[in-house]
Amino acid sequence: MILHIDLDQFLAAVEVLRHPELRGKPVVVGGDGNPRRPRQVVSTASYEARAFGVHSGMPLAVALRRCPEAVFLPVDKPVYEAASAEVMSTLHGLAAELEVWGWDECFAAVHTTDAEVVAAAMKVAVLARTGLHCAVGIGDTKLCAKTATGFAKPGGVARLMRADWLDVMGSRPTEEIWGIGKAIARRLSALGIETIAGLAEADPDDLRKEFGPQTGPWIGGLGRGGTDTTVSSVERVAVGRSRQVTFESDRVGRDQIEQALVPIAEGVTSDVVAEGRVVTRVAVTVRTKTFFTRTRIRKLAEPTTDPAVVAVTAVALLDRFELDRPIRLLGVRVELAPLQESKPDEPG
DNA sequence: TCTGGGGTCCTAGGACCC
DNA sequence: TCTGGGGTCCTAGGACCC
């Protein structure tokens, strides 16, 4: 059986744990915590803040307008990482396999005749060890379990099996499926497919033609409750790492842009090198004041661990942009060589 | 409502080669 | 006379997710 565990209002809940006086109040976590500074958004709003219409992704300034009495707090990544690690280690002890999906959710594979009992045990264990509440979805595919969690929130347990998928989900729009966003929903609609039931019975050839050889069949499978049943504890090896910065005020002119770009390139490189990784490609992203966003990428002549090489490459990539507009964001992504299998008879 | 940061995977098209 | 077929590598961009 597959369980999906999702922590309730994770960032806000962690903040309430260390600031108990905030319990029951509207709490908004985002940016540097100052809603009067522009270009910052809400990462997580507590349920009390959501009641005012505040939600993730919303500009902090808008959140302030909707809920002036909210307490605004800066994002404190290390604290959330530590809390998340404690949750995951607790859950790992109760599952055969545990696959972590970000800070606040994971899939668990469990061998049991009563998944509800396991789910309840997980909730109790996580609460006892960390003080955090979670919702648990039970299913026989990842999609079913994840969808069930939606019905379990906040803080409950729910089950959705593939056999019941269409009864429960069939009449809903395709966009409610995890994995189908606005763009795909629109293209499905153009094919005459509006509901999940419609997607379930769609002609596989139509889907293949519209979405390609991988994506087409995958989307069709989602319409029937998904097919992915794999849950693996093996830590995923990152294929890339990126760092991007939105400036509070725009950078203008090649000099300013270069000056801002170099530390970003060097920083992201030192991070991956410290983890024993090697850079193979360098990408630069530029976003103008008007939100026009472009990326340029270059493969290195040879893989490197030298931050200066990455910085020089990033600066060279700037030549491939028109830098005649004010720039609000710069980003550097490094793509990484696969980890080498270390052979037992060789050092390193 | 003036729009963050960090990821993954897929597709398409051009270059180049046999 | 203007044209095949297959394969790989590379880059750009789209889409989705937390």
- Distance separating the N- and C-terminal Cα atoms of chain A: 39
Position of tokens 């004010």? A326
Position of tokens 């270009």? A39
Strands A240-251 and A327-336: antiparallel
Q: Is the pTM of this model over 0.85?
A: yes
Would you write out chain A's pLDDT as a tens digit for each of its 348 residues?
999 999 999 999 999 999 999 999 999 999 999 999 999 999 999 999 999 999 999 999 999 999 999 999 999 999 999 999 999 999 999 999 999 999 999 999 999 999 999 999 999 999 999 999 999 999 999 999 999 999 999 999 999 999 999 999 999 999 999 999 999 999 999 999 999 999 999 998 899 888 988 889 999 999 999 999 999 999 999 999 999 999 999 999 999 999 999 999 999 999 999 999 999 999 999 999 999 999 999 999 999 999 999 999 999 999 999 999 999 999 999 999 998 755 444 443
Using CA atoms, how far apart are residues A199 and A220, in angstroms rounded to an integer? Answer: 6
CB A336 within 8 A of CB A277: yes
Using CA atoms, how far apart are residues A323 and A341, in angstroms rounded to an integer? Answer: 42
Write the DSSP string, A89-124: HHHHTT-SEEEE-SSSEEEEE---S-HHHHHHHHHH
Using CA atoms, how far apart are residues A210 and A127, in angstroms rounded to an integer? Answer: 46
Going by the DSSP 8-state scheme, the letter that residue A132 receives in this structure is -
Give the residue among A68, A78, A80, A19 at the shortest CA–CA distance from A44. Answer: A80
Which residues from the 39-58 window of protein chain A have CB within 7 angstroms of nucleic acid chain B? 39-41, 43, 56-58
Taking the alpha carbons of A151, A152, A158, A159 in that order, is the dihedral positive or negative?
A: positive
Residue A154: strand, helix, or coil:
coil
Active-site residue, selected from the candidate residues A15, A48, A99, A105: A105
Cα–Cα distances (Å) from A175 to A5, A69, A139, A185, A219, in that order, read: 22, 34, 20, 6, 11
- Extract the tokens encoding A92: 């790992």
From the Cβ of A303, is strand B under 7 Å away?
A: no
Residues 6+ apart with CB under 8 A from A212: none
- Is A105 part of the annotated catalytic residue set? yes
Q: Which protein residue's Cα is closest to nucleotide C9 at C1'?
A: A299
- Extract the tokens encoding A330: 């710069």
CB A136 within 8 A of CB A157: yes
Q: Which nucleotide has the least CA–C1' distance to A60?
A: B1
> What b-and-e string marks burial along A244-273, b requiring 16 or more CB atoms within 10 Å of the CB?
ebbeeeebeeeeebbeebbebbbebbeebb
Number of neighbouring beta carbons within 10 Å of residue A109: 17
Q: How far is the CA of A75 from the C1' of C11 (A)?
A: 35
Element (H, E) at A200: helix A196-200
